[in-house]
Chain A
Amino acid sequence: MTPLYLTLLTFAVSIFAGFLGSLLGLGGGLIVTPFLTLALGVDIRHAIAASIVAVIATSSGAAVAYVRDRMTNLRIAMFLELGTTSGAIAGALLATFVNERFLFVLFGLFLGISSIAMFRKRAQVGGGVIPPDSWADRLRLHSSYFDESLGREVRYRVTGTRLGLGLMVIAGIASGLLGIGSGALKVPAMDLAMRLPIKVSSATSNFMIGVTAAAGAGVYFLHGDIVPLVAGPVAAGVLVGATVGSKVLGKIQNQRLRSVLVAVLMLVAIQMCWKGLQG
C-alpha cells in the first residue's frame, strides 16, 4: 500500500463514516477508529485523536444544513449542553477512581435497554399526548421543522426537560470517563425522555456532539497527537459525507430512520459490553 493509496482509501471510508454519522446523530468515530487501527495499523492514540476530529467534522459539517433547515433545535441543544459539558468535567475528574470495565458494561446495558425501548416506539405515529412541562414552556423549547418526507411542517411540543438534562449529565460523564462519543446516549434520551421527533433528536444530538469533542480534541492538538496526514484525509472525507448526509435526512421516512438507528445503537451496546468483559 502506497501513501497515496492509503490517503485515498482513508478519504473514501471517511465519506461513508460522515454520511452515516450525520444521519444518525452519533458522530463519525464509530467507523473511523476501527478502520484506522485494524485496517491501517495506526497507533491507537493517533486513531482516537483522528476520530475525535471526525466527530467535530460530522457535527459541524452537517449542522450547516440542519440549523438552516431548523431540524436542529438550537435552544434545546444549548440548554442540554449544560449537562453534557458539566458531566464531561465530572467524568474526567472521576476517571482515576472508577473501574472502567464495569462502566463499559453498565453503559452498554443501559444503551441496550434504551434501544429496545426506541424499537418499541416505532409503531407510534405522532407521539401521542405530550405531558405539559413547565421548564420547556419557560425556556421556550417547543418548535417546528419542515419534514420533507411528509411534505409538511411538523409542530412538536417538548416534555421531560429535567429528565433530559439529567440524562445528558450521565452522557457527559460517560464521554469524560470512557472517551466514547456520547451521541449514542444522547439520541435515546431526546427520543424517549423528551419525546422529540426522531429527526430532531438526531440533528440536535449531531449539533451537540461537536462541543464535547472540541474540548477533547483541543487537548490532543496541544499534545501533538493529531497526525496531519491521517487526520487530514479523515476530516476532509467526513466533511464531504456529512454534507451529503445532511441533505438526505429530511427525505428519509421517519420509521426507516428509527430502524437503522436502533440497529446501530444495538451494535454499539454490544460492542461496549464486549469491551468491558474483555478488558
Chain B
Amino acid sequence: MNTTTKTRRRFDMESLIALVLRTGVTSSFVLILVGIVLTFLRHPELEEASGSAVSSWLTVGHLTSFPDLLKELAGLRGRAWTTLGLGLLILTPTVRVGVSILGFLRQSDRRFVAITLVVFTALLVSLFLGNATS
C-alpha cells in the first residue's frame, strides 16, 4: 500500500508501538496459559472439587514477594507462572508510554516528548498515590 511505503522510509512510530504491544500481549498470554495448565496438571483433584473447595480455590492470592515468585516459578507452580504473565500484561501500557518517549525523541518532536514525559510521570504518581491511600 501507498501509505506504508511512504512511512517506512522515515522512522515509523506505529510499528514501534505495535511491536511493544504485540510482544507484551503474546508473552503474557503464553505465560498465563502455561500457569493454568500447570495448575490443573498438578492438582487433578480440582477437576472433581465442589462447594467449599471451589470457593477457597477462588481466593488463592497471587504472590507479592519476588523471591517466592522465583522459587515457585522454578518449582513449576501454576499460580507463579500465571502471576508472572499478569504482571507482564499490567506493565505493558506503562512500557508503551515509556517507549513512545524514545520514539518522539527519535523524531525530534520536542512537544510530544514533553507531553509523553508528563503522562509517564503522572502514571507513576498515580501508582504511588493509590498504593499510599488504599
Interface residues in B31-78 (C-beta closer than 8 Å to A): 32-33, 35-36, 39-40, 46-50, 53-55, 57-64, 78
Number of interface residues of B (CB under 8 A): 67
- Which of chain B's residues have a CB closer than 8 A to the CB of A7? 36, 40
Q: Closest CB of chain B to A186's CB: distance in Å? A: 15
- Which of chain A's residues have a CB closer than 8 A to the CB of B63? 224
- CB–CB A56/B92 < 8 A: yes
Which of B28, B40, B55, B89 lies in contact with A4, CB distance below 8 A? B40
Which of A2, A81, A213, A231 lies in contact with B54, CB distance below 8 A? A2
**Any chain A CB within 8 A of the CB of B5?**
no
- CB–CB B86/A214 < 8 A: no
- CB–CB A213/B28 < 8 A: no
Query: In the complex, which residue of chain B has the Cβ closest to the Cβ of A5?
Result: B47
**Chain A: interface secondary structure?**
helix
Q: Closest CB of chain B to A140's CB: distance in Å? A: 9
**Any chain B CB within 8 A of the CB of A248?**
no
**Any chain B CB within 8 A of the CB of A44?**
no
- Which of chain A's residues have a CB closer than 8 A to the CB of B40? 3-4, 7
Task: For the complex, give the distance between the alpha carbons of A95 and B126 in Å.
Answer: 13
- Which of chain A's residues have a CB closer than 8 A to the CB of B3? 70, 144, 146, 153
Q: Chain A residues in contact with chain B, CB under 8 A? A: 1-4, 6-7, 40-43, 46, 53, 56-57, 59-61, 63-64, 67-68, 70, 74-75, 78-79, 81-82, 85-86, 88-89, 92-93, 95, 138-139, 144, 146, 153, 176, 210-211, 213-219, 221-233, 235-236, 239
